[in-house]
Structure 1
Amino acid sequence: MRDRYRQIVALSRDCIKEIDLDGRITAINVNGLAGLGVSHPDQLISQPWRELWPPEAVSLVDAAIAGSANGLIQEFEAACVNFAGVRQTWQVVTSPLFDAFGNVEAILAVSKNISDRRALEAAFHTLDSMLKAEREFSTGALMLARARENSLSTELHTLRDLQERIEGDLDIARAAQGAAEKISEQAQKGEAVGQLLAGVVHDLNNVLQAATSAIDLVVQRARIDAHDAKLLSVADAALQHGSVMAQRLVGFSRQYPYSPEAVDLAALAEQLSPLLEQVIGAELQLQLRTSEGGCCAMVDRHTVERAILNLVINSRDACKSGDTIRIETGDTVVAAEDASLSKPGGHYVTITVADSGHGMDAGVQSRLFEAYFTTKDAGKGAGLGLTQVYSAVRQAGGFVEVSSAPGKGARFLLAFPRMQRSQASELTASP
């Protein structure tokens, strides 16, 4: 019977560990080693289990060990970066193991990797925000077309019909999103999200291209004055902008391997600003201030773009009409006497997202980077945005600083190790 139990443990896809009453790992199954990015059990045996977790999760681990040592079954969820540098989210259950006299002699910890499930939830939240921004864009284009319909008659009626088709396609996209959410509860794989979004954006691009062609026909056939021509030029530019936003939506939905490259943060912020303006809406003001001389860092472009988007969405939700969101790039130096394990000394390039919203108290700030922690109403946030921000910066060897107070807004500074201009030039020039 004992051999059969050993086979069951060995074949399980979960990470199964035996922990002694001092909190040290005494045994682990093969799939557990693979999940943690470890090649040999000797790397973990006799190591304190709590040291595998980040500081914000240690209290949960200690509570689980203490509870199971007293004969209780404990559960918690937390995220950590494994030995291969991959951030994973785990659903953990700890149970007491009793000896022949009924005394607790060890603890069984069973951890299930739920990273894909949480990534799906975050992706759908981002999709919903993007679709809302696209709806606002479509409404503005429709109002412009109606304002000139008397002078352009039949040609502008064509634009209005195409606009209604865009709105209909957005409704279809939301229906497709709802269907995909149900599928994702069974699937646990991020590819489904990327395929869904790619299809939606493909159809949306077809509609936008049709609208652009209609505008070209109006310009060629209709007798329009200079003022009307200018309005049509604005409408055409808006449609082109919508196409760019659609392509960026696909980029945000895809799952990319972590691939660091030399990235100028100032240029990246400028490229993102049109999309960010659509995300925050017309009631808020976006200010962008980039430093001169380059702000180059070795980072993964996609994770940094997602981090900036997550911060701007959080700022938008914290602001009221008329408030301002500022994005700035710059640099800073951490002196040796100010350095720490989480903030090494050196020269850094920075990107800052600040807002004039309602701000946060110290209690909220202490939990900002906990996975699934959110102050938003149910259904309006998965609590993963700031976790992704923290992970993106730490993977690049940087740090995050937060300053806020109730009624004083919030300021997030992301710092990445600075690349020398000569290093950036060599990487850019290399094949």
Structure 2
Amino acid sequence: MTRPNNLNSERVLILAPHGRDAGLARALLREADLPAVVVPDLPALVRGLDEVAGAVLITEEAMRTADLTGLSRWIGEQPAWSDMPFILLTRQGGADRSPNAARLTRILGNVSFLERPFHPTTLISVVMAALRSRRRQYEARLRLEELHAREAQLRELNATLESRVAEVVDERAIAEEAMRQSQKMEAVGQLTGGVAHDFNNLLTIIRSSVDFLRRPDLTEDRRRRYMDAVSDTVDRAAKLTGQLLAFARRQALKPETFEAGDCLRGVADMLDTVTGARIHVAVDLPDAACFIHCDRSQFETALINMAVNARDAMDGEGSLTLRLACGKRMPAIRGHAGSRSHFAAVSLTDTGTGIPREQLDRIFEPFFTTKEVGKGTGLGLSQVFGFAKQSGGDINVTSELGAGATFTLYLPEVTAPAEPADEPQTNEADTDGAGRRILVVEDNVEIGRFATQILQDLGYTPEWAANAEAALELLGVDGDGFDAVFSDVVMPGMGGIALAEALRSRLPHLSVVLTSGYSHVLAEEGSHGFELLHKPYSAEQLLRVLRRICNRPSSRSPAARDRQAQPR
């Protein structure tokens, strides 16, 4: 292979012997100033690879019945730095729906699936990403070649051995860092592709359902079915983003102190519906209470995700033991230092097939799964990993092939909480806004209009401010009779948290509800004691939180209390 400054090193080899795919792809790539060469068959493709190439664009049809021996040999004989990127054009939707996907993935190795028909921009984006990956490989090769040359010189310079060794060690570290960066970027590409694939599937359901809902002749039964499909798909999309944020340790948690044993017992009681009747669920709890401080909902989700993983490993039959141990020290896990502090160790032990040693370091990666296509997203254990890390703990796994596996979740143990004060009673009979004034603070025009419309339909009297500064001006010195503020978190200028803290200081009687799809401030510092409504939220969720805070007597301005006291 030639040096990366050779123009041929960036060329894309195209093998698409049927139809117009080859000509169309070459024209699109050349229009984007990307060199492309069409080859007639697989032997010609291998010869082109022997010369030099940056990426390969190939159709699934070209590989379906062809002899892949020569191509497979070339891929297997690549040097250690090389991992030729392949882009496979398919008509069956990618790896999750193509029956040949697993076989072709094993043969090609570094392969991306692109479904036809594709948008020209998508093709160019995928090809450019592949070429960028190839350039990083060339850079790593050059680093390694320079390193080998310096090592050869080192053997000839015994007089300055120590200094030369130090230099080589530094250069090796640079080369290894370049290789790690290349692998990291490839992992990002895999993650991006997985997210795009899953969201495109969800958006397909939503778009198709909306198209049918526009039909005037649709029966009420079918209309209800499509509306349920849209609602269920939104829930699945929200769960997907939640799992991704959990893995990245960027979700906004709502920590609370609770007794881990009671929670574990409650989860165990409902696991029968998750694991099935053929799996025996046992619980082993200590006599003494064990308190932890974390997001209870995410904790329960983590337990269920681990239970589902165990169920699949046991093929639906076996035993699952949930065990809680208190006052434990967290050991060193995956190269990270342990801790001598007290931790609650929550473990799930199954009698499944176990986990191969080579997979133990990968099972917490997003979208990594050993299940059949369509049987899982590969995000369940990622959520557990991210939740544990963000909560100040970790997750460990031990396994032996044929003897099951044990997942142990370590969370910081805390002292028992003080008795909670009685919550003020809210009037659940109030099912609408009763004309209460709500100030909506939202910089996005479409969401601002939609939120005010929802509040109007719920019986509230909303007003809309496009930013925090305008909201402060509307509220004035006494709150101007508003009952609550409903504010986005991420806004230009003053953000929602800064606005809420300013109102807490200036107008302590005025309740604030924050909403956000994602905020690094919320993920790192929490909600600062304010009510938080995660996007996407439903009208029922918004009604519930507003009803709760507006029914608190201490949460109304004097003008709002006077208005509430007036007879209707």
Q: Is the TM value for this pair above 0.5?
A: no
Larger CA Rg, structure 1 vs 2: 2
> What range is the shorter-chain TM-score in?
0.3 to 0.5
| TM-score (normalised: structure 2) | 0.34
* Higher helix fraction (1 or 2): 1
| TM-score (normalised: structure 1) | 0.44
Higher-RCO chain (CA-CA 8 Å, sequence separation at least 6): 1
